[in-house]
Amino acid sequence: LPQRRGLRLSAPAAIQVTVRDALNQALDEELERDERVFLLGEEVAQYDGAYKISRGLWKKYGDKRIIDTPISEMGFAGIAVGAAMAGLRPVCEFMTFNFSMQAIDQVINSAAKTCYMSAGSIAVPIVFRGPNGASAGVAAQHSQCFAAWYGHCPGLKVLSPWSAEDAKGLLKAAIRDDNPVVVLENELLYGVPFEMSEQAQSKDFVIPIGKAKIEREGTHITLVAHSRPVGHCLEAAAILAKEGVECEVINLRTIRPMDIEGVEASVAKTNHLITVEGGWPQFGVGAEICARIMEGPAFNYLDAPAVRVTGADVPMPYAKILEDNCIPQVKDIIFAVKKTLNI
In a shared domain, residues 152 and 129: yes
Q: Environment class of residue 321 by beta-carbon count within 10 Å: exposed (0-12), middle (13-18) or buried (19+)?
A: exposed
At residue 193, what is the residue type? P
For residue range 169-188, list pLDDT tens digits in order: 999 999 999 999 999 999 99
For residue range 222-257, list pLDDT tens digits in order: 999 999 999 999 999 999 999 999 999 999 999 999
For residue range 75-104, list pLDDT tens digits in order: 999 999 999 999 999 999 999 999 999 999
In a shared domain, residues 250 and 173: no
| Calpha distance 134→278 (Å, rounded) | 7
Q: For this structure, is 187 an active site residue? A: no
With 80 as the cut, is the pLDDT of residue 6 above it?
no
Tell whether 59 is covered by a domain: yes
Q: Which residue, 176, 201, 226, sits at the end of a domain?
A: 201
Q: For this structure, is 29 an active site residue? A: no
The predicted structure's pLDDT at residue 21: 97
| Calpha distance 310→306 (Å, rounded) | 13
Q: What is the CATH number of the domain that holds 125?
A: 3.40.50.970
| Calpha distance 66→63 (Å, rounded) | 5
With 60 as the cut, is the pLDDT of residue 8 above it?
no
In a shared domain, residues 70 and 143: yes
- Which helix (H) or strand (E) segment holds residue 215: the answer is strand 213-216
The whole domain housing 306 covers 213-341
Q: Could you say which of 73, 185, 264, 277 is catalytic?
A: 73
In a shared domain, residues 182 and 232: no
Tell whether 51 is covered by a domain: yes
Determine if the pTM surpasses 0.85. Answer: yes
Q: Which residue, 172, 201, 230, sits at the end of a domain?
A: 201
Kindly indicate the confidence band of residue 3, based on its pLDDT and cuts at 50, 70 and 90.
very low
Q: Is the dihedral of CA 192, 125, 56, 72 positive or negative?
A: negative
| Gap between the terminal Cα atoms of the chain | 63
Arithmetic mean of pLDDT, 114-136: 95
For residue range 304-329, list pLDDT tens digits in order: 999 999 999 999 999 999 999 999 99
Overall number of domains in the chain: 2
In a shared domain, residues 297 and 253: yes
Q: Which residues contact 92 (CB under 8 A, 6 or more apart)?
A: 40, 41, 76, 77, 80, 126, 127, 128, 129
Mean pLDDT of all residues in the chain?
95
Q: Could you say which of 142, 152, 235, 246 is catalytic?
A: 142
DSSP characters over 126-161: -EEEEE-B--SS--GGG-B--HHHHHTSTT-EEE--
The predicted structure's pLDDT at residue 12: 60
Count the Cβ atoms, other than its own, within 10 Å of residue 299: 13
Q: Is the peptide bond between 257 and the residue preceding it cis, with omega within 30 degrees of 0?
A: yes
Tell whether 34 is covered by a domain: yes
φ, ψ for residue 201, nearest 5 deg: -80, -10
The predicted structure's pLDDT at residue 288: 98
Tell whether 6 is covered by a domain: no
For residue range 179-220, list pLDDT tens digits in order: 999 999 999 999 999 999 999 999 999 999 999 999 999 999
In a shared domain, residues 184 and 238: no
φ, ψ for residue 221, nearest 5 deg: -160, 145
In a shared domain, residues 132 and 185: yes
For residue range 28-82, list pLDDT tens digits in order: 999 999 999 999 999 999 999 999 999 999 999 999 999 999 999 999 999 999 9
